[in-house]
Amino acid sequence: MRYDFTMDYKDISERIALLTQEIRELQEIDAHYSKPSESTHRTNRASREARELRLLQIKQELSRLMPKARP
């Protein structure tokens, strides 16, 4: 996919800022739930997998926002 020149740089900047904030929030949640607990092990695992999936989605979105380098 090529860079979408119809997107305004301000829009891209704002979107990147939102994604960066979401990454920070996911990292904070990871830090909070990284402490082992028998009672919430399964819930934590499912939540962690959901957070990992979201991080992958963010990475893919960021790669689409970045212009492609020409060889």
Contact 5, 68 (CB under 8 A): no
Tokens 């939540």 -> residue: 47
Q: Answer yes or no: pTM beyond 0.85.
A: no
| Cα-to-chain-centroid distance, residue 59 | 6
* CA–CA separation, 55 and 58 (whole Å): 5
The two structure tokens encoding residue 44: 């934590």
The predicted-structure confidence for 16-37, as pLDDT tens digits, reads as follows 999 999 999 998 888 877 776 6
1 pLDDT exceeds 50? no
Three-class DSSP category at 4: coil
What's the pLDDT score for residue 46?
81
Q: Which residue has the higher pLDDT, 39 or 57?
A: 57
The two structure tokens encoding residue 2: 């090529």
